[in-house]
């Protein structure tokens, strides 16, 4: 035998179940959105790590070029100092100074070559595969585009996965 107050309880239970399902869907939607934002943030961090490693390699590459030029100049200075010493126009200390500077250039070049190997190892680790050492395209010292601070900040706040996840 069904009593009239039971009908209200049944309708009330259906309403509560419906609200609970809606709430569960809302929570699931929010959790999914947060997961997507965390994934996007992780992808941005990964891309940033690759860019940093790339620019490290590019920097050391250009540093090596400059040091090779410096080593060549130092070698020419030694050769000229030898000629001037033979002509008795300079003291032996001038030749020794030129040789010291050449050795310093050679040492800096050797250190830069080790740094290049290290930078390539870091780039390979970030990318997740072994990359053979090779010249990279690009110019580390090329002028870059200037950004308007307020516009860049607004874009960052609107698009950054980390900022979006925090809000």
Q: Are 52 and 122 in contact (CB under 8 A)?
A: no
Whole-structure pTM value: 0.70
Q: Which two tokens stand for residue 10?
A: 């049944």
Write the pLDDT tens digit of every residue in 69-115.
999 999 999 999 999 999 999 999 999 999 999 999 999 999 999 99
pLDDT at 3: 53
Distances in Å between the alpha carbon of 110 and those of 31, 60, 94, 113, 162?
A: 52, 12, 24, 5, 41
Distances from the Cα of 156 to the Cαs of 150, 159, 167, in angstroms? Answer: 10, 5, 14
The model's pLDDT over 12-59, given as tens digits with 9 standing for 90+, comes to 666 667 778 888 888 888 888 888 888 888 888 899 999 999 999 999
Task: Tell me the mean pLDDT in the region 111-140.
Answer: 92
pLDDT for the residue numbered 5:
53
pLDDT confidence of 119, banded at 50, 70, 90?
A: very high
Angle at 11 between CA 9 and CA 14, to 5 degrees: 110
pLDDT of residue 125 exceeding 60, the answer is: yes
């Amino acid at each position: 035998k069904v009593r009239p107050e039971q009908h209200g309880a049944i309708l009330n239970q259906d309403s509560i179940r419906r609200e609970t399902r809606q709430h569960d869907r809302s929570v699931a939607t929010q959790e999914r959105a947060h997961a997507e934002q965390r994934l996007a943030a992780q992808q941005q961090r990964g891309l940033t790590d690759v860019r940093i490693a790339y620019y490290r390699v590019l920097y050391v590459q250009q540093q090596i070029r400059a040091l090779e030029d410096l080593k060549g100049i130092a070698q020419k200075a030694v050769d000229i100092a030898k000629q001037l010493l033979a002509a008795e126009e300079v003291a032996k200390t001038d030749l020794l100074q030129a040789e010291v500077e050449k050795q310093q250039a050679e040492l800096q070049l050797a250190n830069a070559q080790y740094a290049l190997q290290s930078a390539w190892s870091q780039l390979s680790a970030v990318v997740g595969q072994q990359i053979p050492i090779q010249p990279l395209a690009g110019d580390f010292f090329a002028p870059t585009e200037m950004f308007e601070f307020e516009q860049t900040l607004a874009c960052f706040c609107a698009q950054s996965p980390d900022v979006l996840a925090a809000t």
